[in-house]
Each structure stands twice: as C-alpha cells, then as structure tokens.
Amino acid sequence: MKQKIIEQVKTLFLSLIKRITPAFLVTLAMALIFWYSGKLQHTYTAEISVTVVLDGERHRTTCLVEGTGHNIVSARHFKRKTIKLNRSEVELLPVDGMSATYDISPTSLQNAISMRYPSLKVKSVSRLPYFILDDK
C-alpha cells in the first residue's frame, strides 16, 4: 500500500515537471530576484563576526549591527573581516593585579569598528580577552 502511494506521488511529480516551460522558470527566477532585492532595502539588526588584530594578537569578536539588508550582506560576505588596530585607536585599561595585562574598553572598540563599517550602525561589541603588552 505504502509503495503504491509513493509510486503515484512520483508519477504525479514527474508529470508536473514535464509541463514546466522555460518561460515559467525565467519568470519565477526574475520574481525571486525582485523579491530578494526588495527585502534587502529594509533595515535589519544582525550579528557580524570580526577579527581584531592588536600588536599581532588576533581575537574574534561579535558585533551587533543595524543597517539595510544590502549593507549587512556585503559586510558579512564581501568585506574584509580583519581589523588591524593601533594602540592609539583604542583605550587600554590596566587589569588589577596583573602586570603588563590590559583590557580594551568596549566603547573604544565599538568606535574603532564603527569607523571601519561606516554604512552600519554598530550597536554593541562582545568583550575581547586580555592583551599582554610588553611596552605601552
């Protein structure tokens, strides 16, 4: 019984596929492209993963950004996701009880990343681990 139902569904599916014309497929593809491009014009909030390099140390952080869908898609897939920072671009806060160990101020990190992504509004940034710097 189950096999017979599967065969009937398969026969129905194949008969429907044979009726599809190339003009229908082109029209369907155009409709999907127009729908997707229309959706990309709306404003969205999303997370973007960024690698921060400070004095050769690489750390990954997650940024919560707001912007148009087009800008978010381009930042996620097409723009460089590695940001090289100088010590002068961020505020380094000394960690109590640990010599030569610093924490990056989240606000200064957020501002530095915002400068690299001017088309997006960076709403928040996850904290980075401590940096050990020999000379400040």
Per residue in 61-90, pLDDT tens?
A: 999 999 999 999 998 888 878 889 888 888
Cα 46 to chain centroid, rounded? 7
Query: Which is higher by pLDDT, 20 or 110?
Result: 110
Same domain flag for 60 and 127 = yes
Sequence-ordered list of residues with C-beta below 8 angstroms from that of 85, at least 6 positions apart, any chain: 52, 53, 54, 112
Same domain flag for 30 and 58 = no
Q: What is the pLDDT of residue 135?
A: 58
Query: At 66, phi and psi to the nearest 5?
Result: -130, 135
Query: At 25, phi and psi to the nearest 5?
Result: -65, -40
Same domain flag for 55 and 109 = yes
Same domain flag for 32 and 50 = no
Query: In what side-by-side order are the strands of the sheet with 121-125?
Result: 82-85, 43-54, 57-68, 121-125
Domains contained in the chain, number: 2
Query: 129: pLDDT confidence band, cut at 50, 70 and 90?
Result: confident
Distance CA 110, CA 121 (A): 10
Same domain flag for 57 and 33 = no
Q: What is the pLDDT of residue 136?
A: 47
Same domain flag for 21 and 35 = yes
Query: Which is higher by pLDDT, 135 or 20?
Result: 20
Same domain flag for 84 and 110 = yes
What is the total residue count of the chain? 136
Mean per-residue pLDDT for 22-39?
Answer: 93
Distance CA 101, CA 53 (A): 16
Same domain flag for 79 and 115 = yes
Same domain flag for 128 and 94 = yes
Distance CA 135, CA 104 (A): 16
Same domain flag for 67 and 114 = yes
Q: What is the pLDDT of residue 120?
A: 94
Same domain flag for 81 and 98 = yes
Owning domain of residue 117: 43-132
Residue 98 tokens, joined: 């640990």
